[in-house]
């Protein structure tokens, strides 16, 4: 048991402690609706649900992936007071032997006319180069048809400050604060938005020993995003940001040069750096064709403390084109190239090219689509010349074809679909002997028949996959037949069944066969009680005739029984004070 738990919990019996901790681990959140609608909301509504999941599992294979018997009980309660929602949840399982600290999440976002306030754990839309994480604090948003503005202050990241003397302490991190604001004007066709973020670590949130090993950081980010359109045909979109980042707040301050000009907004230190990130896209939309060109660049070491992670040190260029011919044939294609090592400090420069094309034809009950995807990766010299024997130079080609046909009758509906895919992944290094080359062929077919008088559908599926590598070969064949229908007058009893056969072969290693049967049924009683029962039986084993013991000598059995009850405990309606 965790020695940091409250003492009164540590003294409880083990099973009761599990229940208490399960209650404590339920995440409690508070939400609110528009304040102007509170007067029209019901004073009090209490709803909830109670359920249980129970599964029995048995295997003769000798290595089961789950417990023989697993049971869980859960309950949810939602208290709604004049539109304010407070949900609670409890979950207990006999497999849950790990305890964590209680979590409490508070989020309140009331709105009135064009204003929305944020209290607790909240998010506000910002540029993805500036801020994409939530904050725990306060915020305010204003939105009208043309003008918008927002501001916030709060904690961006909680501190991790374990005892340094613990045998396995977690990786420490400072508590990170942030504040920012945004303002914008315009509609979707023509608009501009400006974003500002200031983020910094609190040194007092960590133990002195951790502060000696971990440097506190600070950051100032300015972003601009805009769009200009001409007659909804031609549009230019841009999203750029500049980040001033200090890797160590305690490093010496720069007291001379151009850096001192910005002392009022940001203290330039000897560990500070200014980097740029951005993208721009030019799009053309005509009745018969759509086209776009996109460029993106993120400088090396670009960092925003308001984002979880940003890949940097690369730029990319992409183009796309799509059109429709004769109102039946759709064509599209795209190409993009990416290169890293903008700083020329890496050993090698890696380039990647992605290209694809797609064609689709739809004629009545028949449709067919074809797709090609390709990828090429190559290396060139950086600070060191490329080594011919270790050079990364690969190409991938993938081709897919998917026709389908469906037709309806008086008593029967039919649908047939086929699929085929071939993928080649090849190493182009001239010194390679193909050890990493992989070729895969995948074929599939399915037939679906709906018997209208019986209100029953049947589906037959077949698939074949074969993968070849260097001195290796894998094959898989699967066939399945499934059916299902609804019963009773209200169609509240559903049943389904599936029979499957699977064959897998690894060249020179194994040949296995498995046969499975899956059954399931569900019943809903008076819209409040839901029962479900499912079971599966699988026989499998190695069928290689060279083995002395070959056959389906292993069995897996699984049975699940689930129940859910939803209820309304109390409903005090605003109309005439009705109480239910």
Name the burial class of residue 305, with classes exposed (0-12), middle (13-18) and buried (19+) by CB atoms within 10 angstroms of its CB: buried
Q: How much is the average pLDDT of 457-465?
A: 96
* pLDDT of residue 341 exceeding 70: yes
- Residue whose tokens read 């194994």: 510
Higher pLDDT, 31 or 521: 521
State the DSSP code for 40. G
Q: How much is the average pLDDT of 351-360?
A: 96
State the DSSP code for 172. P
Q: In the prediction, which pLDDT does 8 show?
A: 35
**pLDDT-derived band of residue 490, with 50, 70 and 90 as boundaries?**
confident
Q: In the prediction, which pLDDT does 77 show?
A: 83
Question: Does the predicted model carry a pTM greater than 0.85?
Answer: no
Token output for 248: 């160590």
Q: In the prediction, which pLDDT does 96 show?
A: 57
Query: Average pLDDT over the chain, rounded to whole?
Result: 86
Model confidence pLDDT, tens digit, residues 59-103: 887 665 667 888 888 888 888 877 666 777 788 887 554 333 334
Q: In the prediction, which pLDDT does 168 show?
A: 87
Name the burial class of residue 438, with classes exposed (0-12), middle (13-18) and buried (19+) by CB atoms within 10 angstroms of its CB: middle
Q: In the prediction, which pLDDT does 17 show?
A: 39
Q: In the prediction, which pLDDT does 572 show?
A: 81
Ranges of H-type helices in 172-298? 208-213
Separation CA 396–CA 393 (nearest Å):
11
Separation CA 27–CA 120 (nearest Å):
14
DSSP-based three-state secondary structure for 164: coil
Model confidence pLDDT, tens digit, residues 524-539: 998 899 999 999 999 9
Model confidence pLDDT, tens digit, residues 399-408: 999 999 999 8
Model confidence pLDDT, tens digit, residues 138-171: 999 999 989 999 999 999 999 999 888 888 889 9
- Residue whose tokens read 């589906």: 459
Top mean pLDDT of 163-167, 359-363, 539-543 is at: 359-363
Rg, C-alpha atoms of the chain: 31
**pLDDT-derived band of residue 488, with 50, 70 and 90 as boundaries?**
confident
Q: In the prediction, which pLDDT does 283 show?
A: 96
Model confidence pLDDT, tens digit, residues 293-318: 999 999 999 999 999 988 999 999 99
Name the burial class of residue 292, with classes exposed (0-12), middle (13-18) and buried (19+) by CB atoms within 10 angstroms of its CB: middle
Q: In the prediction, which pLDDT does 264 show?
A: 74
Positive/negative CA dihedral, 163, 164, 166, 171: positive
Separation CA 71–CA 94 (nearest Å):
6
User: What is the residue-wise DSSP string for 201-250?
Assistant: EEGGGS-HHHHHHS---EEEEEEEEEEEEETTTEEEEEEEEEEEEES-TT
Token output for 371: 């797709």
Residues 424, 428, 434, 435: what is their CA dihedral angle, to the nearest 10 degrees? -90
- Strand-pair partners of 338: 316, 352
* pLDDT of residue 195 exceeding 70: yes
Q: In the prediction, which pLDDT does 35 show?
A: 58
DSSP-based three-state secondary structure for 491: coil
Separation CA 199–CA 41 (nearest Å):
39
Separation CA 89–CA 87 (nearest Å):
7
* pLDDT of residue 188 exceeding 70: yes
Higher pLDDT, 509 or 134: 134
* pLDDT of residue 1 exceeding 50: no
Token output for 265: 């907004």
Q: How much is the average pLDDT of 513-522?
A: 95
Separation CA 77–CA 164 (nearest Å):
40
Q: What percent of the chain has pLDDT over 90?
A: 59
Q: How much is the average pLDDT of 315-339?
A: 95
- Residue whose tokens read 């209208």: 452
**CB-CB contact of 375 with 339 (8 Å):** no
* pLDDT of residue 383 exceeding 60: yes
Q: In the prediction, which pLDDT does 30 show?
A: 47
Picking from 39-53, 345-359, 479-493, which range would have the lowest pLDDT averaged per residue? Answer: 39-53
**pLDDT-derived band of residue 549, with 50, 70 and 90 as boundaries?**
low
Separation CA 289–CA 293 (nearest Å):
14
Q: Rounded to the nearest 5 degrees, what angle is found at the Cα of 578, between the Cα atoms of 573 and 580? A: 85
Picking from 18-22, 221-225, 503-507, which range would have the lowest pLDDT averaged per residue? Answer: 18-22
Name the burial class of residue 89, with classes exposed (0-12), middle (13-18) and buried (19+) by CB atoms within 10 angstroms of its CB: middle
**CB-CB contact of 373 with 356 (8 Å):** yes
């Amino acid at each position: 048991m965790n020695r940091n738990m409250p003492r009164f919990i540590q003294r409880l019996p083990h099973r009761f402690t599990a229940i208490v901790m399960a209650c404590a681990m339920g995440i409690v959140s508070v939400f609110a609706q528009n304040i102007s609608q509170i007067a029209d909301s019901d004073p009090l509504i209490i709803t909830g649900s109670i359920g249980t999941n129970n599964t029995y599992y048995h295997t003769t294979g000798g290595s089961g992936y789950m417990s023989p018997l697993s049971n869980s009980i859960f309950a949810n309660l939602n208290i709604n007071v004049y539109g304010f929602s407070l949900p609670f949840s409890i979950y207990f399982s006999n497999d849950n032997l790990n305890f964590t600290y209680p979590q409490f999440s508070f989020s309140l976002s009331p709105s009135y006319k064009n204003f929305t306030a944020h209290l607790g754990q909240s998010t506000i839309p910002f540029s993805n180069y500036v801020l994409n994480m939530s904050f725990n604090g306060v915020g305010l948003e204003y939105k009208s048809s043309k003008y918008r503005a927002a501001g916030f202050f709060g904690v961006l990241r909680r501190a991790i400050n374990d005892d340094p003397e613990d045998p396995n302490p977690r990786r420490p991190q400072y508590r990170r604060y942030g504040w920012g604001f945004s303002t914008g004007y315009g509609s979707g066709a023509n608009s501009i938005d400006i974003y500002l973020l200031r983020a910094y670590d609190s040194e007092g949130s960590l133990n002195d020993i951790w502060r000696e090993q971990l440097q506190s950081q600070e950051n100032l980010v300015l972003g601009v995003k805009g769009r200009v359109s001409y007659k909804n045909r031609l549009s230019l979109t841009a999203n750029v940001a500049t980040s001033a980042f200090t890797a160590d707040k305690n490093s010496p301050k720069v007291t001379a040069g151009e850096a001192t000009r910005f002392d009022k907004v940001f203290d330039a230190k000897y560990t500070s750096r200014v980097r740029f990130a951005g993208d721009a896209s030019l799009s053309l939309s005509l009745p018969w064709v759509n086209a776009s060109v996109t460029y993106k660049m993120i400088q090396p070491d670009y960092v925003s403390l308001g984002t979880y992670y940003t890949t940097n040190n690369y730029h990319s260029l992409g183009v796309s084109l799509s059109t429709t011919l004769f109102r039946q044939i759709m064509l599209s294609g795209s190409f993009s190239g990416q290169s890293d090592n903008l700083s020329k400090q890496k050993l090698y420069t890696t380039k990647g090219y992605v290209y694809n094309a797609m064609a689709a034809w739809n004629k009545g009950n028949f449709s067919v689509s074809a797709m090609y995807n390709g990828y090429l990766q190559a290396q060139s010299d950086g600070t060191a010349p490329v080594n011919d024997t270790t050079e990364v130079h690969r190409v991938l080609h993938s081709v897919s074809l998917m026709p389908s046909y469906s037709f309806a009758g008086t008593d029967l509906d039919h649908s047939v679909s086929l699929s085929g895919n071939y993928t080649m992944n090849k190493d182009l290094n001239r010194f390679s002997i193909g050890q990493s080359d992989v070729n895969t062929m995948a074929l599939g077919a399915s037939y679906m028949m709906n018997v209208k008088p019986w209100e029953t559908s049947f589906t037959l599926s077949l698939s074949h996959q074969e993968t070849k590598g260097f001195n290796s070969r894998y094959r898989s064949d699967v066939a399945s037949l499934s059916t299902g229908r609804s019963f009773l007058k209200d169609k509240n009893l559903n049943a389904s069944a599936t029979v499957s056969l699977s064959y897998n072969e690894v060249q020179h290693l194994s040949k296995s066969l498995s046969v499975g049967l899956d059954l399931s049924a569900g019943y809903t009683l008076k819209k409040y009680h839901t029962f479900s029962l499912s079971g599966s039986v699988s026989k499998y084993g190695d069928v290689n005739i060279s083995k002395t013991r070959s056959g389906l000598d292993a069995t897996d059995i699984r049975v699940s029984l689930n129940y859910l009850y939803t209820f309304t405990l109390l409903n005090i309606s605003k109309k005439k004070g009705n109480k239910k």
